[in-house]
Structures are given as C-alpha cells and as structure tokens.
Structure 1
C-alpha cells in the first residue's frame, strides 16, 4: 500500500520572492500559482496542498474574515489544502527586526499575531488541518555579528513573545534555517537560538534541503563549516549526520529542494541558498536520500506534510508545466522512501 503521509505541498511564495513589478520577472499571482500546482499530475498523483505567504499581493495580512474565507474556498475548489503559512515579519511588510528596537520587535510580534488570525480562519473553514507558522529573524548575519550573544538573546526573547500568541492559537512557530537570517545563518547558531528560546513544543526548526546544504559549507559562518571543497561521500555522510542529528529533534517543517552549491538572492534574501530544479544536473544533493535524514521520526514530531520550495526560479521555469511534474515526481519518491500511513 502506498504511503499516504506526508502530504505533498507546493509553496506559493516562489511567485513573489525575488519578483519585481515592471521587470521580466514580475510577481505571479496566487490564482496562477494555484492553477500551475493543480495542473501537475504524475501517474494519477497530484499535489495535495499549498503553503502560503501572508502578504501582498497574494494575501492582505489585514484582509477581512470574509476575504480570507473566499481565498480558502478558492484553494479548496482546486482540491488543495493549506499547510504552513509564512508570517510577514520583515521590515517593509508588517514586521521588523527580531533583534531591533522596541517598535521593530513589537511589529515582529504583531506580524505573528496577524498570521495566527488568518490561520485560525483557515482552520475553522476546514481547508487547513495541519502545518505551522514560519518565521525568521528579519535581520542580517552582518548586524548580528556586532553582538552575537546579545542579539541572540534579543531574537530569542522576541520569539518567546510571539510564541505566547501562537500557543494561545494552537499554533507552532518554525524558524527558517537559512544563511541570510541573523542567528540562524549557521547550524550552530540556529541550535543555540533554539536552545535559548527553550520552547520545543511551540518553537521549532524549518529545514530546507537547499539552505541547510550550505550550512555544511560554512557560508556566512566559516567557523561552523563541516565540509571543505573536494569532500568525498564518506565525509559528506559524516557531516550531514552531525548536522541533522543536532537539528532534527527540533524540525517541525520540511522543504524538499535542490542546491548546486552556490548562493543567490535579492534584497533581504541576498546571499542565500540557490534553489535548483529537481533534476538539475549540477545539483549537489541526492534529494531522496538526504530527505530521509530529516524525516526520521517526522510523524512523532507532528509533521504531516512536506513542501517543495523553488524560490527565485525564473518565471519561464515556474510557468512551464514540466517543471511541476518533475518536482511532483521527486516528492513522490521522497514519500515512497520515507513516508508512512496512519
């Protein structure tokens, strides 16, 4: 019998992140991202849900209850569920730096509060039955390095305040393990931050295969590197095992992705892990094999879905149906190898 879990989701934010109006890579609407997702099919299997970015132009974080329910109706009409949602915690959205001044930190917490409200409406609608609220520190490793100990404490305190609100809503927060975010720019820094927060039932880790690969190489944190250029397979396994053993117990949200060993980004996402197509010949990761390191014990940690992340893919690639069929096929392989049934 084929595995029914984890459910297979597609991220909607690749239609927004790194996109700029008036250029040759403008934002792709939520409607179109849903159409592309729903159209994908591999041997009768389709995507089962989407993860959402709760900011313009996809979602107004201050949208009325009726508008949120209308969005839920539309998503459900495609036969899709909603899983994890991304809180608009960055400056220029609702939020502000989690290690900034009092107003910035208050705005960060406000962004999580707005995300919890939307998640509650989606839950009550029935389109959302699982998933977390994703956050990051909304600041850079460069700023963090001015005072590593003090800034880690500030971020942790902000996360704790946000977590109180999330817990009251029955939600969990997953901090994104990505090298462009202060306090989570290396596997060691992320682990220290999680231990500083000390709320394992409410605040956990979101692992992305593309981003966490760069943890191994020490981008933005050479002192935390576990691999050097020219590494062999034995060295890779040793390093990957060490990293995942440390972070897996905290991992409550997981992104399937590929990386070619380079960095790419725009704006606040500068110098971040480059997401590559699932079949990219330059991909450094055996997607199916390495997913198993993160998904061990996933059911017990409350993970019920996995999500593909292809941030900053060119629009032409995002709008090519072959892209999504290739991705879906790889995600099916991940579930076949590491999934479960209730």
Structure 2
C-alpha cells in the first residue's frame, strides 16, 4: 500500500538533560535546525521538526514577536512544525496533574498557552499536523502513596486539558515514559487513557525507547512482560501485548533506539535511555517495532498519524553536533517508512 509519513527531527535533544555552563549545555534552536536541514539520505531530507515550547528554544511569553520569529525561522530552513511539547512541569511554571487545585490550575494554564501557540503556528501555515505532548508532571513515587486517587486526579486533569485543546483545534498526546506518575507502565498508561475516555482527543505518544522500558517493568515490576534472557519469540509476544493495549490510543510516534538502561541528568528524572540510531548496544529492531505502532492489528495505517519523529534526548552534544549522526537517523527513518508502507494493508 502506498503511504508516506512525513519525517521529523525532535528539537528536545538540544534541551532535555542539558545543563547551562557545562560541556552538555543546551544547543540552540537555530543550530538544531541547521543540523536537521543539512542532513540527507540519498535525495531525502527531513520534512520538519517537533518543537519544545520552552526556553531557550521558544519563549511563548513574548507573544507575537516570538510567533513571528519561529514562523520565519522554520520557513528560512524549509521545515514545518509537527507536534509540540507543552511545558507542564513545575520548574517551568506548570504543576502536577495530580496535585492540589493550584498545581492543577498551573498545569492547565500551561496546556492552554501551548495549544494557543500551536494553533497559531497552524494558522500561519507552518504546522500542517501534529499533537500537543503532555505528561502528568509528577513521579511514580508520589503517585504510589495513593494510586487510585492520584490516577483519578490525573484523568480529571487530562480530561479538562482535552476540553481546552479541543477549543483550540488541537489534540493531546500523553508521552508513555517510566518517569511519569500514573503513566509508568503500559498497563497504568492504558488504564489512565481509559479513565480519561476521550479517544482521538487525548491519546498516546509512543516512543520506542521509553516503551521498551515498559516491557522490562522498570518502575512497575508487576507489569513486566519480558524475562531476563528473553528470546525473539518472547519479545514479539510481549511487544504485541503492549501495542494491542496502547496502539488504538496512539496519535504520535517517536522513533528511537534503546540499550535497555536508564539515565537522567539536569532536572530530568531517570527514564529509558535514547541511543544513537546505529548504536551496537541497541536492543530494538526499530524498523519492525515502529510498524506495530504505525499500523493497527489488521495492518491498516492509523489515520491520526501523519508524521514520525526521531528522538534522541540525553545523547551527548559531541554526538549531536556530528553531521553523520543526522544522516544515519534520516536513513533509519526512510527504512521505517519503506517497511511500514510495504506491509500496510488498505483500509
């Protein structure tokens, strides 16, 4: 079946886990865009980027001046914007989705600001598709003090966030990652989305590296699907179990590699480590894994997913600054699209 997902590069690797004044300082948006634009895989180039809507890449508080800067910068690089990351965390002015009334109010304010900015990018013609990415902005340890109540609060907050997003013509994608409260296992994530009960409006962002840690049960051993020394059959059985539960909710897909370890730096809690596209320690058949998110259980492409995005947060600046890093990433994304397109069945 002939189908093509647009190819994007995440700008988050220039920010996440980076500490100003060190040898792993943030990499500017302009530099990240330059590296993205320069990469090639034969005659294929990146179509766009996914933006993180917080400083130093984006300062939404600057209003129209910042909107114009982002639009003009994207246009100058011949790139569009896809999904965006809402700054819902307390250190950036947001608050816990399971916190008290004031914390949840700050969370929702961050979502509203991000949705409005994202919708204006759409109006300006530089954002033809994509979701607004959120998470619970809290950690599994605090969640575990009262799991049922905390999941209820997160669901209520996400449901209200969905109402805000809908009013702006946007959709929300909750990033499945072991560091987020109530989202730290594949089963907890599915139960949360079912509690929110807004399919197509509040859905899931599947990151291959992070969801691999779901299989290992890193922060939820009771939901582990893989044993030590697992073989290929066990892996694909486990992966199918996870994608059957979360695939129908998936609105956004991040292509990534993992070595099965966790890492955190700066203010970022430990989570699944992203690896280089060609890392020999990588545990995933990225091309095959991606297809299980892009296609439903019948092999039909999920209609909400218009683009795929590479994500390599917490990779060293030395690696990120190397041109060949991005060429290899783009080559892998081409293989992902080719494989999924060949195996897809018509709706």
TM-score range, shorter chain: over 0.9
1:257 to partner: Cα distance: 0.2
1:146 to partner: Cα distance: 0.4
CA distance in 1, matches of 2:97, 2:119: 24
Among 296, 301, 304, the alignment partner of 2:303 is: 301
SS of structure 2 residue aligned to 1:237: helix
- Per the alignment, residue 179 of structure 1 pairs with 178
Maintained 8 Å contact 1:167/1:202: yes
1:201 to partner: Cα distance: 2.2
Deviations 1:232-257 (A, max 9, x none): 11111111110111100000000000
SS of structure 2 residue aligned to 1:99: coil
- TM normalised by structure 2 equals 0.96
Among 325, 328, 332, the alignment partner of 1:326 is: 328
CA distance in 1, matches of 2:282, 2:57: 30
1:67 to partner: Cα distance: 2.2
1:268 to partner: Cα distance: 4.6
Give 4+ residue runs of structure 1 displaced > 4 Å after superposition.
none
SS of structure 2 residue aligned to 1:174: strand
Deviations 1:281-334 (A, max 9, x none): 010000001111111047443110000000011000000001000000000000
CA distance in 1, matches of 2:303, 2:222: 30
SS of structure 1 residue aligned to 2:84: strand
Maintained 8 Å contact 1:69/1:121: no
Maintained 8 Å contact 1:62/1:114: no
Q: Mean alpha-carbon deviation: is it higher for 296-305 or for 193-202? A: 296-305
- Equivalenced residues, count: 341
CA gap 1:172/1:48 in 2 versus in 1, 3 angstroms? same
Alignment root-mean-square deviation, CA: 1.5
Give 5+ residue unaligned stretches, structure 1: none
Maintained 8 Å contact 1:65/1:121: no
Maintained 8 Å contact 2:19/2:266: no
Deviations 1:126-161 (A, max 9, x none): 000100000000000000000000000000111111
Maintained 8 Å contact 1:34/1:78: yes
Maintained 8 Å contact 1:251/1:301: no
- TM normalised by structure 1 equals 0.97
- Per the alignment, residue 158 of structure 2 pairs with 159
CA distance in 2, matches of 1:301, 1:187: 22
Is 1:99 aligned to 2:93, yes or no? no
1:4 to partner: Cα distance: 5.7
Residue pairs, 1:1-342, within 5 angstroms: 5-297=4-296, 299-339=301-341
1:270 to partner: Cα distance: 2.0
CA gap 1:300/1:235 in 2 versus in 1, 3 angstroms? closer
CA distance in 1, matches of 2:145, 2:185: 16
Give 5+ residue unaligned stretches, structure 2: none
